[in-house]
């Protein structure tokens, strides 16, 4: 029998057609094979372990067979009082597992544990409902419908019981009262099923943590409104019971449900990756939907979609109301209207219009806003400093005084570009010691690195500015002897809030992302100005960059703190050879397959995005590992972060001739 589980229910609410695709090898699911997403999902295990510590001495329903697990659950709940973990409820083809179930006489408390943050100071109505109180806040809708599904199945299976529903969340108002809480929850592999498990320090009690880190929110009234049909689902407009009926009946019969194509397709996981596109035995569910819908021909599948326009907030409405799904069919009337206030640099409307022209003409071009470009050039002072941070946010605070999900800055890289064209990988810093809170040493090292010259400092986007301002707040609360010096340094290089509005330091970082947004249009940027898009676009359109960085480090004279002189950043003769991120060395070179099996990220060939870097750092905090393992991962992190600042160098070198032409 095909049971509609809560994960299948959530998937069907996203898109009913996905229920037909899921679980079939014919339709590959990229979310299932993405190691980063797998690791990210496992972050909830530590919060789950903390929740079980809060509700201690419960019985685990461990049997994986749903019928056996449901029988065991029923037996346990016959007791007058019971506390269960992973309780199993089964009714008429519907099946759920609930994180924690607390039974007192004839009442069940269903407690869904989430690593998502909340604030104990926020009211239920204000947090989970929109201002009109008639609709759910979009940030919480999927969690609340998940819990409603669990509540529905539990009530149907045990109609003699009354049921209340709770979310147990990470409390962002909480403050850790002791150091090293994160070290009390260690990650280990279960050799039987290769899942991550959490080993809790022996004898640890929730009360010994002193301050509550979790907050329980009673959402029973909201769940009742969902179950009664008072609140419908935002995506399909159907009531809860209509959704359950539609999804359960069709999933049980393996019927394919048609869902209109639209903006929701943007992140569809049922696509073919580069290694699968030529495999005749596999089908792209995404392509199949778009052809079947009838609004797109097979030869148009690769055409930019309406949601591929830069900042396409308008796309959902246009795709539904005007039935325009391909960007080439848009007019300027569909995109954002021109701003009445003229700003220096490209406006949102202008960027969208330029992209739309490129799509319609099928031509590639580069276009600069010279006025805005000159304003940036006039602010620059050589030597130029390119910096990039790697950070992590963890649910469980590292040190006393920290709150959940406060930023931890564990690494930076620093390149220097001199006016004569020389490029130096000048500094780097990392701290992965699980017993150290790195943030203040991070700022000290950054201050020392940037203090060697008074040139302009470049970041890419807002991340570095945000991180430094968060560390400034941590310093304010700290007892560090040099905190005033460090705060002064942070204020020198950042923009920050003051009572009168905003202030910025005399050496405030220049945002290279903002510079590109204001000044530079390149057809290959398409709808994204992320560094991972901008860099390949720049390389593809600049033969000078290609020829320079296809040579070895020794030949181009760009120093490196992590790569030997024979390394070349670009490999034009190889597949994806013009994307240096695709050719980062493997982080686990020199280890046997057996040794690699002990690495939770062993399926990940390289550290090629910030999210994976974050997960590698988290692994180094929460697992026991040998010095060899730690060094291998640190070297991989060093190489990845170095490439981020070198990428900024390449982008600047691409723009440098244009800057010079303005003088």
Is 78 strand, coil or helix?
coil
User: Which residues, in sequence order, are bridge partners of residue 83?
Assistant: 102
For residue 611, what pLDDT is reported? 67
In our burial notation (b when 16+ CB lie closer than 10 A, e otherwise), range 433-454 reads ebeebbbbebbbbbbebbeebe
- Report pLDDT for 18: 96
Task: Give Cβ neighbours of residue 121 (< 8 Å, ≥ 6 apart).
Answer: 173
Distance CA 633, CA 619 (A): 10
The number of C-alpha atoms within 13 Å of 69 and in the hemisphere containing its C-beta is 19
- What is the pLDDT at residue 583? 78
Integer Cα distance of 164 and 1 in angstroms:
29
Query: Residue 349 in 3-state DSSP?
Result: helix
* 464, two tokens: 């570095």
User: What's 494's DSSP letter?
Assistant: S
pLDDT score for 382 = 98
Residues paired with 408 in a beta bridge: 392
361: number of Cβ within 10 Å:
11
- Give the C-alpha separation, 14 to 597, whole Å: 35
- Max CA pair span of the chain: 83
CA–CA dist 648, 460 (Å, integer): 8
Rounded distance between C-alpha atoms, residue 394 and residue 406, angstroms: 7
3-class DSSP state of 621: helix
Task: Tell how many helices (H) and how many strands (E) occur in the chain.
Answer: 24, 18
Alpha carbons 93 and 253: distance in angstroms, whole number = 11
CA 193, 199, 200 angle in degrees (round to 5)?
A: 150
Helix (H) or strand (E) holding 512: helix 512-519
Tokens of 48: 């789950």
> Would you list the domain boundaries of the chain?
43-228, 307-363, 374-511, 521-661
Nearest to 580 by CA among 640, 625, 495, 636: 640
Residue 618, Cβ density class (10 Å: 0-12 exposed, 13-18 middle, ≥19 buried): buried
Tokens (6 digits) for 515: 């510079």
Which residue numbers in the chain have pLDDT < 70? Answer: 32-43, 189-196, 585-611
| CB-CB contact of 334 with 314 (8 Å) | yes
**524 — phi, psi (to 5°)?**
-70, -10
- Helix ranges (H only) for 137-239 are 141-157, 220-228
Q: What is the pLDDT of residue 620?
A: 84
Peptide bond into 383 cis (omega under 30): yes
Question: How high is the mean pLDDT of the chain?
Answer: 90
Give the single-character DSSP code of 552.
Answer: B
> Is-contact 599 392, C-beta < 8 A?
no
Return the DSSP state at 340.
S
Cβ neighbours, 10 Å, residue 350: 17
């Amino acid at each position: 029998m095909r049971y509609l589980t809560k994960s299948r229910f959530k998937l069907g609410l996203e898109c009913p057609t996905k229920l037909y695709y899921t679980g079939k090898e014919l339709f590959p699911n990229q979310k299932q094979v993405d190691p980063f997403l797998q690791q990210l999902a496992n972050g909830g295990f530590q919060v789950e372990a903390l929740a079980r510590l809060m509700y201690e001495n419960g019985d685990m329903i461990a049997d994986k067979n749903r019928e056996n697990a449901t029988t065991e659950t029923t037996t346990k709940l016959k007791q007058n009082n019971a506390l269960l973990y992973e309780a199993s409820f089964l009714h008429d083809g519907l099946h759920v597992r609930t994180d924690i179930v607390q039974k007192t006489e004839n009442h069940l408390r269903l407690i869904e544990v989430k690593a998502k943050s909340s604030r104990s100071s926020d009211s239920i109505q204000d947090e989970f409902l929109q201002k009109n109180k008639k609709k759910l806040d979009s940030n919480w809708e999927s969690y609340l419908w998940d819990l409603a599904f669990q509540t529905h199945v539990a009530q149907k299976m045990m109609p003699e019981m009354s049921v209340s529903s709770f979310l147990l969340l990470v409390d962002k108002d909480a403050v850790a009262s002791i150091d090293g809480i994160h070290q009390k929850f260690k990650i280990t592999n279960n050799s039987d099923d290769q899942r991550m498990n959490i080993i809790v320090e022996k004898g640890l009690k929730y009360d010994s943590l002193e301050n509550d880190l979790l907050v329980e929110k009673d959402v029973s009234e909201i769940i009742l409104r969902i179950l009664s049909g008072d609140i419908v689902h935002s995506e399909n407009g159907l009531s809860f019971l209509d959704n359950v009926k539609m999804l359960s009946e069709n999933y049980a019969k393996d019927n394919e449900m048609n869902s209109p194509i639209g903006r929701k397709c943007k992140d569809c996981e049922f696509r073919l990756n580069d290694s699968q596109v030529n495999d005749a035995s596999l089908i792209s569910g995404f392509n199949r939907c778009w052809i079947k819908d009838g609004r797109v021909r097979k030869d148009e599948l690769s055409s930019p979609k309406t949601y591929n326009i830069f900042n396409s907030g308008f796309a959902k409405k246009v795709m539904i109301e005007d039935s325009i799904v391909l960007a080439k069919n848009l007019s300027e009337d569909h995109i954002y209207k021109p701003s009445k206030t003229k700003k220096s640099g490209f406006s949102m409307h202008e960027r969208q219009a330029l992209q739309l022209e490129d799509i319609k003409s099928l031509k590639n071009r580069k276009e600069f806003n010279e006025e805005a470009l000159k304003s940036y050039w006039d602010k620059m002072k050589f030597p130029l400093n390119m910096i990039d941070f790697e950070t992590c946010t963890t649910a469980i605070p590292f040190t006393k005084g920290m709150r959940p999900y406060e930023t931890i800055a564990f690494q930076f890289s620093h390149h220097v570009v001199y006016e004569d064209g020389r490029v130096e990988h000048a500094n780097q810093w990392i701290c992965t010691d699980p017993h150290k809170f790195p943030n203040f040493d991070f700022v000290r090292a950054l201050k020392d690195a940037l203090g060697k010259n008074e040139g302009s400092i470049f970041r890419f986007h807002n991340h570095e500015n945000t991180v430094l301002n968060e560390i400034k707040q941590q310093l304010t609360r700290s007892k560090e002897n040099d905190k005033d010096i460090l705060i002064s340094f942070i204020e020198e290089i950042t923009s920050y809030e003051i009572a009168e509005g905003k202030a910025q330091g005399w050496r405030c970082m220049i945002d290279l992302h903002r510079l590109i947004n204001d000044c530079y249009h390149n057809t290959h940027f398409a709808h994204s100005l992320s560094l991972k898009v901008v860099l390949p676009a720049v390389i593809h359109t600049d033969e000078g960059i290609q020829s320079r960085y296809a040579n070895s480090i020794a030949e181009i004279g760009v120093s490196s703190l992590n790569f030997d002189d024979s390394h070349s950043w670009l490999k034009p003769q190889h597949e994806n050879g013009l994307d240096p991120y695709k050719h980062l060395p493997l982080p686990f070179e020199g280890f046997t397959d057996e040794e690699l099996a002990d690495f939770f990220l062993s399926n990940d060939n390289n550290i090629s995005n910030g999210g994976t870097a974050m997960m590698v750092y988290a692994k180094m905090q929460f697992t026991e590992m040998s010095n060899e393992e730690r060094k291998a991962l640190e070297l991989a992190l060093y190489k990845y972060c170095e490439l981020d600042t070198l990428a900024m160098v390449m982008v600047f070198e691409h723009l440098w001739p244009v800057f010079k032409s303005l003088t």
